[in-house]
Amino acid sequence: MNNRLQNQGSKSVLCLKQLGQLPVDFTDPLLIQYPAMKLGVLPAVDFYLDALAERVGEIINASPSINKWVLTGPPLIKAPAAANLLCWRLYRHLQLRLSGRVILSMVDLHFLGTSEQIMDQQDFKLRYEYSNNSLEQRIKERSRLRDDIHLHEQDFSGNGVIVINDIRVTGTQQEHMNTSFGRVKPALIKWLYILEVENQLGINHPQIEHQINSSRFDTFDDFVELLTSADHRFTARCISRIFNYDTDDFFSLLSALSDQKRQSLYELAIGEGRFEGEFFADKFKLLKQQCSNTGRAHRGKQ
């Protein structure tokens, strides 16, 4: 992977690749792996680690007066986004590469409380299909989110901060997070993305993100095969997609999962807080019932 660092120098936003025009070249290796990474396929997540680690090293070397750095990602409730998986695995990767040159820590950002329950199909569409939203819808959705991201000043004050994320399209999420970072006084903030959409292109065509996300694994069978692989971890996007299927497909998908994976899905769905309301009542009841049946079966064998 030899894509050079974009927006180098004093600018705060850096990326592995900038997208500046349509159509998108889906044969680019960075884009081939991207949909699998978004859905939690670990080899696809790891595909980006060396290039991201190189960029982190360049960021740190460019600011020799800062010797304490914090790696973080977008805020989560319970289930990680793909960017959180990237951050977690990159942190482990960097511990070997940096070899004590600087003090590097990792801090997860959390929203306070649980998410609001999804009330209807329109509400779900705005959240699950965020990548397909217009700029106006993105701003509206971000304004609906709580401003209270859980931050401790002692984790960030005076330190360099590197925020790992997968794509910057309109900058709406970055602006939302910047509001919270302003309260904890970091010495420097750098935003490191896999992909950055050129500003005007992102404003005019924000649905480019949806095109990239759905360029692979778009069929039900492909998705089930991905979920049942040994190298897969649930992401928030994965869970939303699972609940988006009709009840018959939802049942088929649950039946294809291992007991351990089904239990993991159940615990993450509870932790997210979005899926326990009336809109998903039948599916959530089915998931809970399957996990309960598995538990009884295991106890019966003891």
Instruction: Encode pLDDT of 97-126 as tens digits.
Output: 887 779 999 999 998 755 667 766 766 666
What letter does residue 115 receive in the DSSP assignment? Answer: P
Report yes or no: 179 and 207 within 8 Å, Cβ to Cβ. no
The answer to whether residue 282 sits within a structural domain is no
pLDDT tens profile 141-188 = 555 554 568 899 999 999 999 999 999 998 888 988 888 898 999 999
Band (pLDDT 50/70/90 cuts) for residue 274 is confident
- What's the gap between Cα 208 and its chain centre? 17
Q: How many domains does the chain have?
A: 1
The answer to whether residue 189 sits within a structural domain is yes
pLDDT at 173: 87
CA separation (Å) from 63 to 34, 99, 183? 30, 17, 22
CA separation (Å) from 108 to 15, 82, 104, 111, 174? 21, 13, 14, 10, 16
Where in the sequence is the domain holding 55, given as residue range(s)? 13-216
The answer to whether residue 74 sits within a structural domain is yes
The answer to whether residue 3 sits within a structural domain is no
Which strand (E) or helix (H) includes residue 14? Answer: strand 13-19
pLDDT tens profile 2-11 = 343 333 445 7
- Sheet containing 160-168: order of strands: 13-19, 188-197, 160-168, 68-72, 103-106
Report yes or no: 148 and 27 within 8 Å, Cβ to Cβ. no
The answer to whether residue 295 sits within a structural domain is no
The answer to whether residue 131 sits within a structural domain is yes
Q: What is the CATH number of the domain that holds 159?
A: 3.40.50
Q: Describe the chain by its helix, strand, coil percentages, rounded to 5.
A: 50, 15, 35
Residue 292, CB-side half-sphere exposure with 13 Å CA sphere: 6
Is the bond into 23 cis (omega within 30 degrees of 0)? Answer: yes
The answer to whether residue 143 sits within a structural domain is yes
pLDDT at 8: 40
The answer to whether residue 279 sits within a structural domain is no
